[in-house]
Structure formats: structure tokens, C-alpha cells
Structure 1
Amino acid sequence: MGTKEKLICLVLFIFQLMQAQSSKSEEIRFLDFTPVIDGKLDDKLLNLKKKEFNHFFQFDNPAVTPTKVNYLLGYTATHLYLYIEAKADSITYRDRGFINGDGFKLLLAKRQNDSLTDEYYDIVFSPSKDKKYWARKRIWDYNRNQNHGKKLSRETRFEEISHNGKCGFEVLLTWKDAYPYHPWFSNPLGYNLYFAKAIPNNAANGYSVVKDEGIWDEEIPKRNFMPIAFEEPKKVNQPIIVAQLFKRNIQADEPLQLNLITIAKTVLNKTIDVTIQNDSSRIFLDKKIKVSFKNKLQRESIPFDSHNLKPGHYNFLIRSASDTIAPYDFVIFPKFNFDSIRSQITRNPYHLQQGTINTLLFKTNEVQQHFNNLKSYENGKNVLKEYLQFETELNSFLKGGDPYKGIAKPYRRAFQSKYDATFQPYTIKLPQDYNPEKKYPLLVFLHGSGQDEQTVLSQARSGGNFIEIAPFARDRYNCYDSESSQNDIMEAIEDVVLHFSGDKSKIVIAGFSMGGYGALRTYYQHPELYKGVAVFAGHPDLANEWLGTGHPNFLEDQFLVPFLKTPVFVYHGKKDGALPVSVAEKLIQKLNSNGVPVIRRIIEDKTHEYPDAETNKIYFEWLTKITEK
């Protein structure tokens, strides 16, 4: 072997060694006591090894000396313990401190075949003087759902404190909030930590254990992590029993399986009570089970017959004496035949309008996809609810009725795209006194990033005299800049005008956050179609920031030419930590200098959120005025 080949082999060996070292699992210590959560490190925890953050991110911030930040982890049978310590005199309180400082993100992940995973919890913690602050402790992202909507339970505790030149951040996360990631059931696991440290001028530097673009970019399909293992208990002071259902969603006649893990100081036997009941508290099973304990972890699986349980939602309770060990819910689904359902719809024996057929076919596909995508550990309750609602609509249709006729609250419809024949959804809300003989102006409202359109119209988006629609537009992160997004918006409008009394000469385009840029972008595509544009907490150059160069920048004069004399409404919160208020101010200045009439609403105490009541009042009046012409 020559010198060159030897060198290549040496480099490969070193690389493989580094890979092996980087993938080696950290072991998390078992704690046989529950830490006090007050922001300070308990004396009992001083022997735990403090770990350093491996990566520092300065971003585009001025150069500063990195803050000394470390952390430690431990766990109990019921909780994960996390302590972060930063060398600083005080804590900075900001909106979404987990990005804007001071605050942090915790990623708990299921380890898959490689170093990346799409099964995880991304949990955020933002110090706040108001303990009820919405983003104080929250699941920000779950398995790429980005719903930003689930608060952590009261059993998860978070406190912060500054003392003696240090800032301490302490979390006790119940394993129930990160189901099924209990370390005794779900090894192998992985984690990542990202700590945002505030610096002057509303900026923040970042520190992470593992480098992962998904910390900032919600479009990243998989997340990176550090492998971890959990030390098995060597001794416990009290008997411990933990339980999980093997599957939380099954189909009719499929058996249930309960998995138990026990440990005690000495060998002993106990009896536990297992109860299955429905939401009306009707009991279908009430059984006593003997469980043995030893001075090391014992695992046992117990099957249960589900033949007498009809499709529906159930609660599975495991109790020991007066204590509830594990309250889990699960769902039994009927045995579906989606192809048969589609055939029944397309036959359309009562010749109902095509919009109804398209909507039912879309919902059939949607229920099937959601059912097929269910993980075994997910209860499937929302999918069952979705199916039961769809079943009601389907049965109405099969009897000759239009299930969507006369609905005043927001609901989801679909059209079949003429470009690729797919069924695409949009949400519609009709005026309370809707009369098909009367023409109504049309408001098109675009949703923000990481979401779909289904909740957009749950609040008033007009004064009540408009037909309101929110297209999904096949977009979660692409700023409505793609051809498919723009086509879907146009086709949603056409579908509404075809099936409802929408006045195509009186349309306004609006949007929130990413949808704010989308409103500008959509107007730019078809300025002849819209009477006005409303931008709520938007960014006029978002597509170039997120997607790279080559997209319209509405801070440049060339892209504002179509807006001449078109009314624009701009709202922004001055404390917006997601999209800075400065860009909204620049947009207003640019619009004014180009002769565009602008209503300006910059609200002092608002963050990245929908408008205050006074702004809405002014906005509704603006909508009415510009569509009366």
C-alpha cells in the first residue's frame, strides 16, 4: 500500500472514530427523589456532571464575549429534570424568549436508523413575569406538526431565578407530556438543547448541544439530536410501577396490550385495578391484576380482549390502592373501506352540485391519510372525531341532502384543481344573514407559516358583511410565492363565485405573518382583481429571507408599481419578536413615497399576534369603505 493510500485509510479511520464518539450515548442519572423546582440547584444535585453547550451562534449580531452557559440532566420514574445555568446578573424577559432571549428549547426525539429523526417533541420555555404567559412552557412542534398550540400540563414545572451573578432555569418535565418517551419503554432516545441569550438591541446569541438548522427553520424535514441512554435504578425508596398501552389506536376486534414495569426496595406483590370506560363513564372492564416487584426493573405484558368494545373513544385507568398510576385514552376505529366510500360519492344519484362532491371526496382522502399516518402511540381521538363528522355529512348526502347547505359558521370546502386534478381545500365563512339572491364582497385571508387555514376564520376577519375565505394554497413555508399557491388562491375564488353570491368586482386580499407577505405577493400577481390589501404582522421581503433570492421585495420601488392608488392597511405589534416592526415601518414609508394610500396601525403593547379591538374596528370600516365604490 502506497503513502497516499495509507493516508486515505488513516483519514477514514479518524473520521469513523469521530463518528463513533459523536454517536455514543450520554447516560442520564436516575434520581431517587424529586428535585425542588425554584431555579436553584439542589444540594443533592451538585454531584451531577455539568455539561457544556457545543455550538455558539453569533448570527449577524455584533461581536460579544460568549456567556458561560452549562446544563445538567437527570430523571425520575415520572419526570425528566433539566437545569441550565448562565453567568449573568439578570434575566431578560422577552416575547418568545426561546428564540429572542432569555429562554430555551428542548428537543426529545425517537432515535431512528440514522442521526436524524422526524419523530420528536420540540418543547419551548420562555421566562416571564406573568406565569400564565402563553409561550412560557409549551410544545412548539410535534412530529413536524408545528401547531404551536399545546400547553404543557401542571405536572411540568418551570422556574427561573437570578442570584449571585448566575441565572438558573429549572424544569421538571412529566413524561406524560412527552408520551411515549418514557426511558424505560422508549429507548433509544435522543435530545438537543438550544439556549438563547439576550444581548442589547433586542438581539440574542445562541448555544446548542447539537447543530441543527431545524432550531430556526420549521421547514427542515428531520431533526438532529444527541443520543442518550438512561441509567437503570440501582435502588429505590418506594415501590414504583409505570404503565403504557402498547397501542393507543386499534381497529375493531384487535386486542389491547398493557405493558408494565415495576421495581421496589424488596421483593413484594401488589394488586392493581384496571378499568376501561367510555366518555360517559360507562364501565366495560373492571379487573384486579396481581403484580410482582423485585429490586430491579421487571417487565410484564398483559393482553385484554376488546371484542365487546364498539368503535369509539375510551379511557384506560390503572390504579394502585388510591393512586392513579396511568390514565390513558385510546380509540377503536371501525374497519374502513375508503374505496367503497369514494364510489358511493362519485355515483351522485341525487345530482347534487359538484362543489359538494369535490368536498366529500377531499374529506374521504383526508380521513384516510390521517388514519394511515397515525403512530401506534397516538390516541387517534382527533381522527375519530374527523371521521364521525365526515360520516354524518356522508350519510346526509346518501339520503339526498346537501350537508353543507346553510352553514353559517366556518367550514372546509374543496375544489378539484384544473391543473393537476387534486382536491384542494379552503375554509369559508358566510355572513349570518346570507341570502343567495344578494351579492356580497369577498375577503380572501391567508394563513401564517407552519399551519393550515382551518382556524383562520374562527375570529371575525371582516365586519360581517363579507363572504370570507381562507385558502390552504398548498403552502406552509413558501410565502405563497409558488405557482401552485397562486393557482389555488385563484381557483378557490372561482369556486366561491361559482357556488355562492360573491361579487368578483369587490375582492380584498389580506393575511397574517407569512400570509401578510402572501397578500402583497398575491395582489402583485393579479392587481386587477383586488380592491385593497391588508398586511397583519407581515414582512415585505419574507420570501427572499426564507427561500433565497429572486422573489418580489416590496421594499423596492419596482415591485410597488402595481399598488399605485390601491388602499393598503398595515398592522404590526411594536413588541413583535418574530417579524420586527422595523420592516413594517419601512413598508409604510415606501408605500407613502410611491403614492399608495396607507392606513397605519403600529400598536405599542402587541407582539406577533392578531390585532386589538380598536384596530379591528378601524380595519372593518376601511374594508367597507373601499368596497362600496
Structure 2
Amino acid sequence: MNQFYYLNSKKADAIFKSPSKAWDEFNANKLKPFQLDSPNETTNIENIACYSENHLYIIIKTKQEEITHRDRSYQNGDGFHLVLAAPKENNLPSDEFYVIGISPLATDGFRKFVWYKNIDLATSHLKDTVIKTSKTKTGIYIMAKIPWKEIQPIKGLLLEKYGYNISYVQATIDGKNTYILKEDSKIQSEQSLRKYLPYQFEKPKAADKIEYNLDINSKHCKVGGQLKLSLAINSNVNKEATLQVTCKNKLLSKKKILINKELFKTTFPVVLEDLPLGENDIDIQITGKDLDVKENRAVFIYDHSKFEKVKEDVNNLWVTKESTDQFIKESIISTKFQWQNMMEELKKLKPYEEFQKIESYYKSTINDLQKVKEKKHLF
């Protein structure tokens, strides 16, 4: 299987300083010619993908003599776009993904940004992603160093594999030549699934320092529910530690863990009892000899029954719509559509997505319902 190659801190520093060094360490994948405006100007395009504790490294090598800048170079040359996709059963096309655009010579928002997220157009800036371009005797190297925090919920130490694709666009005299890892005619399309190749996260060797990734499995939870906390530690020694989860000094979970040398992984439940509705700050701490990790996660706790109450109110209004004037009738119909849309959005909400959008939808819906109950139309 293809791999995201592991980088300890020393290798990560070396490859960031000189991206060409990745070709001394790892096997590269060659991108295939895909759509060519200038068949006589084709060049050799290779790619290596690596990861470290905190970053994903995407490196392109091109045999061009020089690269140029055009408007939206990620699409028109010279630049690239890549896909990070949650893998599906039998590696079928995914509806959960990032498409990231990189225009190495740009100075505007198209230099580094999320182009699509989960089939929808996103165009959100990758503030902390770093782009580096270098030229050697062997070619031109373009590297994107992307922090995990900008592509949540992806974190290399926690995952076994992920879907990956990449397309490089070469600027040519007659237009552009496009190269791709996995052929996908929809890679640039809105409202389309994405194809990918499964990439395995290479198992880390013993780290030169303690490395970790942790996360909870959802940013929202029904009242009385529970979350799952996942932890991966890559250690250079065996050691004991204590993991503690609290919310406003209330202890939610505490566990002794024995960290093995090399990669250690564990998951365990966190019960959210007696926490208030709305957003709660969950504090996670891991302590031990030479180890003091503190992280925070926001979790929105909601009462699902309130959505059923909205349904009941809408249905009660619905049976009266024929006995009201036209504006109120249309307002009742509108509130039913609002409720249906809200429930559809709630159904589609991914665990790693914020709940605030649903909460805003809910408040807007009940405000409109109250107006209609008071015989005030919405128009």
C-alpha cells in the first residue's frame, strides 16, 4: 500500500530545510499525464507525502526549468491541488474530504486554501500552512507543510490509513498540462464525490522525543451521552502516566496508562453527566515523569427533545392553516419547511462539525413559530 511516510522531529526539520532530501529517504509516486493542452511540453512530475506529530508534508518534484504564476495557479498552472478523503468500504468514492489548492508563487488567498470540503465549495484560507519552493540540479520542489489543526479531524498518529489524491497543473504556451495520481474527472467539481488511493500512515519508529495526538470523537453530544477519547503516544521510553478529563473542575474520567516504547494507542469513554446544555469546555491532561500535556476541546450538549417539540408545534399550526388568511397560511407552510430543513441539517451534521449552525437554525425557527402563533405573518 502507498504510504504517508513518518518523520521524526530531526527528519522533519531536515526535509523542511531541503525538500529534495525526501527523495533520498522515500519512494516517490509518479503522476500520470491526464489532460494535455500541450502534448509536446510534458514533463516528469513526482510526489512524496509525509507526516509528523503536528503536520502533513506534501512535496511535488517537477522537471520544469522554471515555474510561473497565473491567476489561480492551483488550477491553471503552475500549482497543484490535493484530496484528503475519509476512506469508504472497498475504497469507493468519498463524500467526506478536503480539496486543498496550492499556488506556490501567489501572494493572495489562493496561495494556500481549502477549495472544497465535503462536496461543498469552501474557499477558506489555510493561515498556518507553509509553502516552500526550492530548485536543485534534480528539479524544482514545491512543499506544503499543513498543520493537523487546519484539516481536522485528520491526525497521523491516531489513524491507520486515509484516502489521498493529487493533481499538478503545468503552465504551457498553449494552456496547461494536468497530471494526476488517481484519475478523477470530478476532482475539481462541486457537489461530487472524490476518488482516491488508500494511503497507510507508516508506523512510527521510536521517537527522539515524546510525541502525541489526541482527540474526542465528536464536537456535540446529546444530553446524558458519552464521548470517546482517542490517544496515541510515540515514546522513546516506557513510562506510566495519568490521563484526566474534567469540565469546570468536575472530574469526568481518570485513568492510569502504561505507555510502551514506540507507538502506544488507547481509547476510552468519557461520560458527560450533569453538564449544562450548550457549549462546554472539556480539559484533557496527561501527566507523568517528564510529561505534562494539557489540551482543551469544546463540546456542545443539546437536548434532542426540543426538536420534537418544534415538530409538535408545527403540526398543531398545520391543522389550522385552512382557517387563516393567506399570509398566515403561507407563514405556516414556511415554518414547516424550516423545520424539515433544520432536521435535514441535523441529520447531515458530521461529528467533527460545529453544532452552532444547528442551534442558530433552531432559534430562528422557534422565533418564527412564535410570530405565527401570535397571528403575525413572516412576510
Could you say which TM-score interval applies, normalised by the shorter chain? 0.7 to 0.9
Residue number among 352, 358, 361 corresponding to 2:333 in the alignment: 358
SS at match of 1:353: helix
Report how far residue 357 of structure 1 moved.
2.2
SS at match of 1:213: coil
Amino acid across the alignment from 2:30: E
Q: How does 1:385-404 map to 2 (within 5 A)?
A: 385-402=360-377, 404=378
1:87 counterpart residue number:
63
Asked if the contact 2:328–2:375 (Cα under 8 Å) also holds between the matched residues in 1, the reply is: no
Asked if the contact 2:247–2:283 (Cα under 8 Å) also holds between the matched residues in 1, the reply is: yes
Instruction: Check 1:355–1:161 CA distance in 2 against 1; reply closer, same or farther (3 A cut).
Output: farther
Give, in whole Å, the separation in 1 of the partners of 2:370 and 2:63. 64
Unmatched 5+ stretches in structure 1 = 1-24, 278-282, 405-498, 500-629
SS at match of 2:198: strand
Amino acid across the alignment from 2:177: N
Report how far residue 265 of structure 1 moved.
0.9
Residue number among 276, 279, 288 corresponding to 2:247 in the alignment: 276
The structure whose RCO (Cα within 8 Å, separation 6+) is larger is: 2
- Post-superposition CA distance 1:246-299 (Å, at most 9, x none): 23222111122212122311111234553436xxxxx66587654431113222
**Is 1:217 the counterpart of 2:174 in the alignment?**
no
Q: How does 1:42-81 map to 2 (within 5 A)?
A: 43=21, 46-58=24-36, 61-81=37-57
Unmatched 5+ stretches in structure 2 = none
Give, in whole Å, the separation in 2 of the partners of 1:121 and 1:374. 16
Give, in whole Å, the separation in 1 of the partners of 2:368 and 2:20. 57
Asked if the contact 1:36–1:42 (Cα under 8 Å) also holds between the matched residues in 2, the reply is: no
1:105 counterpart residue number:
81
Report how far residue 388 of structure 1 moved.
2.7
Asked if the contact 1:39–1:161 (Cα under 8 Å) also holds between the matched residues in 2, the reply is: no
2:230 counterpart residue number:
259
Asked if the contact 1:89–1:163 (Cα under 8 Å) also holds between the matched residues in 2, the reply is: no
Instruction: Check 1:255–1:65 CA distance in 2 against 1; reply closer, same or farther (3 A cut).
Output: same
- Post-superposition CA distance 1:150-170 (Å, at most 9, x none): 22241x222224455732211
Instruction: Report the TM-score when normalising by structure 2.
Output: 0.86
Instruction: Check 1:55–1:345 CA distance in 2 against 1; reply closer, same or farther (3 A cut).
Output: farther
Q: How does 1:610-629 map to 2 (within 5 A)?
A: none
SS at match of 2:13: coil
2:100 counterpart residue number:
123
Asked if the contact 2:38–2:173 (Cα under 8 Å) also holds between the matched residues in 1, the reply is: no
Give, in whole Å, the separation in 2 of the partners of 1:273 and 1:91. 51
Report how far residue 54 of structure 1 moved.
2.7
Asked if the contact 1:89–1:165 (Cα under 8 Å) also holds between the matched residues in 2, the reply is: no
Report how far residue 242 of structure 1 moved.
1.6
Report how far residue 240 of structure 1 moved.
2.1
SS at match of 1:214: coil
SS at match of 1:315: strand
Asked if the contact 1:159–1:171 (Cα under 8 Å) also holds between the matched residues in 2, the reply is: yes
Asked if the contact 2:72–2:103 (Cα under 8 Å) also holds between the matched residues in 1, the reply is: yes
SS at match of 2:186: helix
Aligned CA RMSD, in angstroms, stands at 2.8
Give, in whole Å, the separation in 1 of the partners of 2:285 and 2:73. 39
Q: Which segment drifts farther, 136-145 or 348-357?
A: 348-357
SS at match of 1:300: strand
Give, in whole Å, the separation in 2 of the partners of 1:399 and 1:296. 65
SS at match of 2:363: helix
Instruction: Check 1:309–1:392 CA distance in 2 against 1; reply closer, same or farther (3 A cut).
Output: farther
**Is 1:149 the counterpart of 2:123 in the alignment?**
yes
Report how far residue 42 of structure 1 moved.
5.7
Asked if the contact 2:54–2:148 (Cα under 8 Å) also holds between the matched residues in 1, the reply is: yes
2:356 counterpart residue number:
381
Give, in whole Å, the separation in 1 of the partners of 2:281 and 2:361. 19
Instruction: Check 1:375–1:28 CA distance in 2 against 1; reply closer, same or farther (3 A cut).
Output: same
Give, in whole Å, the separation in 2 of the partners of 1:218 and 1:125. 18
**Is 1:190 the counterpart of 2:163 in the alignment?**
yes
Give, in whole Å, the separation in 1 of the partners of 2:375 and 2:13. 63
2:302 counterpart residue number:
333
Asked if the contact 2:82–2:100 (Cα under 8 Å) also holds between the matched residues in 1, the reply is: yes
Instruction: Check 1:164–1:27 CA distance in 2 against 1; reply closer, same or farther (3 A cut).
Output: closer
Asked if the contact 2:102–2:111 (Cα under 8 Å) also holds between the matched residues in 1, the reply is: yes
Report how far residue 228 of structure 1 moved.
1.1
SS at match of 2:258: strand
Q: Which structure has the bigger radius of gyration?
A: 1
SS at match of 2:40: coil
2:273 counterpart residue number:
307
Give, in whole Å, the separation in 1 of the partners of 2:374 and 2:271. 36
Instruction: Check 1:170–1:319 CA distance in 2 against 1; reply closer, same or farther (3 A cut).
Output: farther
**Is 1:28 the counterpart of 2:4 in the alignment?**
yes
Give, in whole Å, the separation in 1 of the partners of 2:15 and 2:210. 23
Report how far residue 182 of structure 1 moved.
2.3
Report how far residue 139 of structure 1 moved.
1.2
- Post-superposition CA distance 1:98-153 (Å, at most 9, x none): 110011111011111233221211111112342xx11211111111122x232224
Give, in whole Å, the separation in 1 of the partners of 2:172 and 2:20. 29
Amino acid across the alignment from 1:28: F
Asked if the contact 1:317–1:324 (Cα under 8 Å) also holds between the matched residues in 2, the reply is: no
SS at match of 1:91: coil
2:282 counterpart residue number:
316
Give, in whole Å, the separation in 2 of the partners of 1:158 and 1:317. 33
Amino acid across the alignment from 1:210: K
Q: How does 1:569-588 map to 2 (within 5 A)?
A: none
Give, in whole Å, the separation in 1 of the partners of 2:15 and 2:368. 50
Report how far residue 340 of structure 1 moved.
1.4
Give, in whole Å, the separation in 2 of the partners of 1:257 and 1:189. 20
Asked if the contact 1:37–1:158 (Cα under 8 Å) also holds between the matched residues in 2, the reply is: no
Q: How does 1:457-496 map to 2 (within 5 A)?
A: none
Give, in whole Å, the separation in 1 of the partners of 2:70 and 2:216. 40
Per residue, is there more strand in 1 or in 2? Answer: 2
Amino acid across the alignment from 1:303: P
The number of residues matched between the two structures is 367
2:146 counterpart residue number:
173
- Aligned-residue sequence identity (percent) comes to 21
